[in-house]
Amino acid sequence: MSKVALVTGGSRGIGAAISLALKNAGYTVAANYAGNDEAAQKFTAETGIKTYKWSVADYDACAEGIARVEAELGPVAVLVNNAGITRDSMFHKMTREQWKEVIDTNLSGLFNMTHPVWSGMRDRKFGRIINISSINGQKGQAGQANYSAAKAGDLGFTKALAQEGARAGITVNAICPGYIGTEMVRAIDEKVLNERIIPQIPVGRLGEPEEIARCVVFLASDDAGFITGSTITANGGQYFT
Ligand code: CAA
């Protein structure tokens, strides 16, 4: 039987490419999403991948949603914590809500999703947790104190949990995408994107969602069993760690 992979924010952007790549690699995929019903329905119609609605910022909703996925598809073997939001603002203008929303989704979302699957993975002696962090968690980004803090936190979470999971056959890794051509990045003011951001990318272009999805498929595979606590940096040369 094929392994079950659960991808948060899995019906749009990088998440949609990840869901599809995992399906093509033979996994049974569940794509979680939080809000956009229309996009989710379209995604299911086009790909045959089941979509499940809940917010990763809500612990109880995550526990219930994961229970539903596992009842319908089987135990989750691969969890991809991809869901993320931006609420960009220079810090002097940033509101407490902008701070909290981003921390709740982009950082606490990892706790909320991973905690309910962790015991089962330990019992079965197999698991793959793949956290989608960001270049801006590695280097920091003006206008993103909230996002950079959350994404840096995701890397600490990855390294701590990797040590706990190792003996139980669970690997925990992170991917730090650079600027990828998704709605999130295209929402940046065009002048800021073209004049300040793209010129900083040595390969001279935005990344493709599929370029991140291929990293996920590798980390999920049996071939990657000795890799844990690591970060794959995929940013077109914009920042070296
Ligand atoms: N470093 C230092 N100062 C900066 C700066 C930078 N990188 N960028 C802007 N500033 C300064 C400006 O020079 C300006 O200074 P003055 O007021 O003295 O003139 C001030 O900050 C305000 O700049 P803006 O006019 O741009 O301010 P704004 O309020 O209109 O916009 C912003 C602020 C929304 C944060 C905008 O600058 C922006 O969108 N920046 C890009 C942020 C970014 O990269 N977000 C990534 C989103 S995609 C993503 O997150 C995915 C991923 O993982 C990569």
Domain assignment present for residue 240? The answer is: no
Whole-angstrom Cα distance, residue 47 to residue 18? Answer: 12
Domain assignment present for residue 228? The answer is: yes
Give backbone dihedrals phi and psi of 75, rounded to 5 degrees, phi first. -60, 140
Ligand 1 nearest-atom number relative to CA 151? 53
Q: Of 225, 213, 153, nearest to 9 (Cα)?
A: 213
How many Å lie between the centroid of ligand 1 and the Cα of residue 178? 16
CATH assignment at residue 82:
3.40.50.720
Query: Could you tell me if 206 and 181 are in contact, meaning their C-beta atoms sit under 8 angstroms apart?
Result: yes
Query: Could you tell me if 34 and 9 are in contact, meaning their C-beta atoms sit under 8 angstroms apart?
Result: yes
**112 CB-near residues (< 8 Å, 6+ apart):** 56, 57, 58, 59, 62
Neighbours of 62 (CB within 10 A): 23
Domain count, the chain: 1
CB distance 141 to ligand 1 below 6 Å? yes
CB distance 201 to ligand 1 below 6 Å? no
- What is the value of pTM for the model shown? 0.96
CB distance 166 to ligand 1 below 6 Å? no
How many Å lie between the centroid of ligand 1 and the Cα of residue 109? 25
Note down the domain range covering 54: 4-234
Per-residue model confidence as pLDDT tens digits over 82-124: 999 999 999 999 999 999 999 999 999 999 999 999 999 999 9
- The first and second tokens of residue 154, run together, are 């995701």
Domain assignment present for residue 27? The answer is: yes
- The first and second tokens of residue 139, run together, are 């280097």
Domain assignment present for residue 159? The answer is: yes
CB distance 187 to ligand 1 below 6 Å? no
Section 223-235 average pLDDT: 98
Strand segments (E) across the chain: 4-7, 28-33, 50-53, 76-81, 127-132, 170-177, 231-234
Section 138-151 average pLDDT: 98
**Is the pLDDT score of 1 beyond 90?**
no
